[in-house]
Amino acid sequence: MPTDADQILQTIFGYASFRSPQKEIIESISGGDDALVLMPTGGGKSLCYQIPALLRNGCGIVVSPLIALMQDQVSALRLLGVNAAFLNSTLERDEVASIEHQLKDGTLDLLYIAPERLLQNRTITLLQETTIALFAIDEAHCVSQWGHDFRADYLELSLLCELFPEVPRIALTATADERTRREIINQLKLEHAPHYIAGFDRPNIRYRIALKNNTKQQFLRFLKNEHQGESGIVYCLSRNRVDQIASWLETQRFKALPYHAGISSSKRAEHQARFLREEGIIIVATIAFGMGIDKPDVRFVAHLDLPKTIEAYYQETGRAGRDGLPANAWMIYGLQDVIKLRQMMQNSEGNEEHKRAEQHRLNAMLGLCEITSCRRQALLGYFDEHLSEACGNCDTCIDPPRTWDGTEFARMALSAAYRTGQRFGVNHLIDVLRGAETDRIFQFGHHHLPAYGIGKLLGANDWRSVFRQLVARGFLSVDIDRFGALRLEEICRPLLRGEAKIELRKDPDKVSTKRQTRNPLPSDIDTALWEALRECRRSFASELGIPPYVIFNDASLQEMCLMLPTDFDNFSQISGVGERKLEKYGAAFIAVITEHLATY
């Protein structure tokens, strides 16, 4: 095993240089310091603990929240010549004994383990009899009760500081706002650890958010026009909706699999394994899916319902395009999503402080949906990162939304909500404004109100847009206890008094049918060679029972198409080609390239 970080990076992992601030983190951990690392999904967090584990004496212990992913992470490391293993409930007793023996005799480089198993007395005793290089706490936001993936077992990980005070600990996450960061630091006792916050930006991801019109048709158009035959993840709020969408996609000839907590653990593991190992699979899931997913060729992440928080949205969209190639983060939402989420929050077991914090986060998510400026600037700003110029790669940059002076109509909407006693939902308020003659209007005497009939100039859908944007901007709130009644908030006073104006988004008249182009191969890449290299990769992956990207990711294959290496020296220059992969696969891929050059 090489003894220098740069050598390990090149000879084992096959990369020529570190990204900032990977090397600084690695040197700090290797020297025995603790660290808190915030780095975007696909930014190379794993190297920040894998390389120090190889440099330091002993075995690196990686706390990972998902059992189902450990096997793939370990398989990828073993292909690189790293002696890695995992301990979880899927192993037989003799397999556990073998791994524990390797741990004790010092032959293991890395051991992946779930927090609940790590905290068992038997495991703690085992580790105390072992030389530990470091503890890596992956997905560290799980420790925060304010985070989006809270795991109670993570709260106990502060024991590591007390029981192993000399062993460095590194906590890693891709998403954490200031409050979540503080809780990670407090819960894991990292008050004196340096913080490394890499840029959150993922410029290869295109963010697109639209209103729900006809969910299935909107989504089908997106898939057929842009992602036919490509891997992706679809998020829905409920299990029933997951099952419905997965089944419907199958009828549309897409390879779709459901994933949620109502499916047996064995079936979930099977679906996850297929998603990782096969190409063109679409997973339809609740938020239960995706944490730690290391599949680089996910070309899209779609949300068919509004996420609860920007943290959750960023974490989930970050699972697209980990290979750095173009990918889409596509979402549709409506006011009903807001009502449903607020019902879920109201019925949750959290205390009032927690519910208020969740409400604040949902409002921030709504704000991201309704803005008329660059979405990436707003998204990064939420994580305290400043982007000086508009990104040019989100829907509001590419096709800026039209706006209109909605001040007068916003006042009408607020007046209708107030004069009806703040006891009614959107549909009834629209009936009042448009002067509808319904039984409820006459029952409550609302045809006598000053607001009755004053909004006939706008259609029902236009009024829904006004109310939706007033809710999103905090002028109105949804009272779940009164079945979605709209209540005025303090910030609406200047608007009602005529002291402020409001610009509203003008919703599209209809969903655009303009065909979007798929993310094509670069023009200088030969498609025939590309497909031949993919087939070579698929053959090795099938033989070994691993995902194709573990052999080489798409970015490496594209580089082969451009550089056309026909000998081992040139092939070793390809990004992602370390010594072990050069030895195992170099000859086969060089043969494919040589044959292609001879033929064409």
pLDDT band at 277 (very low <50, low <70, confident <90, very high): confident
C-alpha 432/C-alpha 467 separation (Å) is: 13
pLDDT: is 383 or 454 the higher one? 454
Q: Does the global pTM surpass 0.85?
A: no
Residue 482: CB atoms within 10 Å: 14
Model confidence at 442: pLDDT above 90: yes
Q: Which of 3-12, 309-318, 515-524, 580-589 is predicted with the least confidence, judged by mean pLDDT?
A: 515-524
C-alpha 284/C-alpha 379 separation (Å) is: 24
Q: Enumerate residues 6+ apart whose C-beta is below 8 A from 4.
A: none
Dihedral angle sign, alpha carbons of residues 529, 534, 540, 543: negative
C-alpha 524/C-alpha 526 separation (Å) is: 7
Q: Which of 243-247, 329-333, 463-467 is predicted with the least confidence, judged by mean pLDDT?
A: 463-467
pLDDT band at 39 (very low <50, low <70, confident <90, very high): confident
Classify the phi-psi angles of 286: left when phi > 0, otherwise alpha if psi is within -120 to 50, otherwise beta: beta
Looking at residue 471, its pLDDT comes to 83
C-alpha 543/C-alpha 116 separation (Å) is: 34
Average the pLDDT over 474-499 and give the result. Answer: 83
Looking at residue 52, its pLDDT comes to 96
Average the pLDDT over 126-145 and give the result. Answer: 89
Domain 403-505, classified CATH 1.10.10.10, yes or no: yes
- Backbone angles phi and psi of 208, in degrees to 5: -140, 130
pLDDT: is 524 or 520 the higher one? 524
Q: What's the mean per-residue pLDDT of the chain?
A: 87
Looking at residue 213, its pLDDT comes to 81
pLDDT band at 480 (very low <50, low <70, confident <90, very high): low
> Which pair of tokens denotes residue 108?
């293991």
Average the pLDDT over 143-158 and give the result. Answer: 74
Looking at residue 482, its pLDDT comes to 64
pLDDT band at 512 (very low <50, low <70, confident <90, very high): very low
Q: Which of 48-57, 269-278, 323-332 is predicted with the least confidence, judged by mean pLDDT?
A: 269-278
What CATH topology corresponds to 5-197?
Rossmann fold (3.40.50)
Looking at residue 600, its pLDDT comes to 60
pLDDT: is 148 or 186 the higher one? 186
Model confidence at 350: pLDDT above 70: no
Looking at residue 516, its pLDDT comes to 42
Looking at residue 515, its pLDDT comes to 40
What are the pLDDT digits (tens) for 158-183?
889 999 999 999 999 887 777 788 88
Average the pLDDT over 551-577 and give the result. Answer: 90
Model confidence at 146: pLDDT above 60: no
Looking at residue 543, its pLDDT comes to 82
Looking at residue 288, its pLDDT comes to 65
C-alpha 60/C-alpha 387 separation (Å) is: 36
What are the pLDDT digits (tens) for 193-203?
999 988 788 89
What are the pLDDT digits (tens) for 296-347?
899 999 999 999 888 889 989 988 998 889 999 999 988 778 777 777 777 7
pLDDT: is 110 or 174 the higher one? 110
Domain ranges of the chain: 5-197, 205-398, 403-505, 527-599
Same fold, 5-197 and 205-398: yes
Model confidence at 211: pLDDT above 50: yes
Percent helix, strand, coil in the chain (nearest 5)? 50, 15, 40
Average the pLDDT over 492-519 and give the result. Answer: 71
- Half-sphere exposure for 47 (CA within 13 Å, toward CB): 24
Looking at residue 147, its pLDDT comes to 54
Tokens 């008094």 -> residue: 497
Classify the phi-psi angles of 14: left when phi > 0, otherwise alpha if psi is within -120 to 50, otherwise beta: left
Report the candidate in 17, 376, 23, 395 with the shortest Cα–Cα distance to residue 200. Answer: 376
Looking at residue 59, its pLDDT comes to 96
Ordered alpha helix ranges (H), 227-334? 239-251, 265-277, 310-317
Average the pLDDT over 428-441 and give the result. Answer: 93
pLDDT band at 1 (very low <50, low <70, confident <90, very high): low
Percent of the chain with pLDDT strictly greater than 70: 93
Looking at residue 50, its pLDDT comes to 96
CATH superfamily of 205-398: P-loop containing nucleotide triphosphate hydrolases (3.40.50.300)
CATH superfamily of 527-599: HRDC domain (1.10.150.80)
Looking at residue 148, its pLDDT comes to 55
Three-state secondary-structure class, residue 268: helix
pLDDT: is 593 or 545 the higher one? 593
